Amino acid sequence: MIRLKSKEEILKIEFSAKIVAEVLELIGRFITDGVSAYDLERIATEHILKRNAIPAFKGYNNYPYSLCVSVNNEIIHGFPTSEKVLKRGDLVSVDCGVLKDGYFGDAARTFVVDDFETEEGKKLVEVTEKSLDLGIEQAKPGNRIGDIGHAIQAFVESAGFSVIRDYVGHGVGKRLHEDPQIPNYGVKGTGIVIQPGMTLAIEPMISQGHFETAVLPDGWTVVTKDGTKAAHFEHTIVIEAEGSRILSRL
């Protein structure tokens, strides 16, 4: 069931989403050669707690960390362990969620460690971020959920990359994952009608190669089945009468 949010609820979601944006901005300053993913986890957790908020991922379905840190062929849900040491040229997706005053915010960003190793890696990150922008442009009253996915898919595939099919965006609010599901692929003019008051987490996950995925033995980390690199960007947005507004941006 889709819940349309009141102005008061939207303000609370925005507050949580802004804390997520702060975390991602802060994390970006520390991503460099030799830093471990656990260093990022510690920094993020300290900041969230300092803001009197709760790390939304930690304990969610028994997930053990505050962040998801996914490197290169890891798409999502990567563990931020001390053994995962970043090196120059790595693509690092950092996904963060925050709970404050009963409402969630959720966002993700892909960083590069120091500089890109290849032009294709740079293109992958740029295309993924642009596809998020294009999806958000379609998130407006009267459009349908399929319009979001179609915009993302058409742009990504025209650039020679693949849209991950097994994992999708979602509604967000009093729960971290709410209805509706928001695939990053689809057919224009299909799906649920978008209405003011919806709060959505749109999150394209894009692969350099095929879209097939696998889950590592830890039960969480999702990787590309063919071993190619992936990128991931996400924003929490609200649908308003005139269009959409990004809540997880400083």
Nearest alpha-carbon partner for 203 in 174, 246, 161, 241: 246
Question: Cα dihedral sign for 77, 80, 83, 85?
Answer: positive
N-terminal to C-terminal alpha carbon distance within the chain: 30
Residues 65, 53: Cα–Cα separation, whole Å = 15
* Residue 226 marked in a binding site: no
Residues β-bridged to residue 71: 92
- Residue 108, amino acid: A
Burial (CB count <10 Å: 0-12, 13-18, 19+), residue 8: exposed
Nearest alpha-carbon partner for 202 in 155, 162, 244: 244
* Residue 106 marked in a binding site: yes
* Residue 234 marked in a binding site: yes
* Residue 77 marked in a binding site: yes
Residues 162, 150: Cα–Cα separation, whole Å = 13
* Residue 95 marked in a binding site: yes
Q: Any residues with CB less than 8 A from the CB of 161 and at least 6 apart, and which? A: 124, 127, 128, 206, 207, 208
* Residue 101 marked in a binding site: no
Nearest alpha-carbon partner for 236 in 149, 191, 178: 178
**How does DSSP classify residue 60?**
G
Determine contact, residues 140/52, Cβ cutoff 8 Å: no
* Residue 47 marked in a binding site: no
For the annotated binding site, the residues are 77, 95, 106, 170, 177, 203, 234
For the annotated binding site for a divalent metal cation, the residues are 95, 106, 170, 203, 234
For the annotated binding site for substrate, the residues are 77, 177
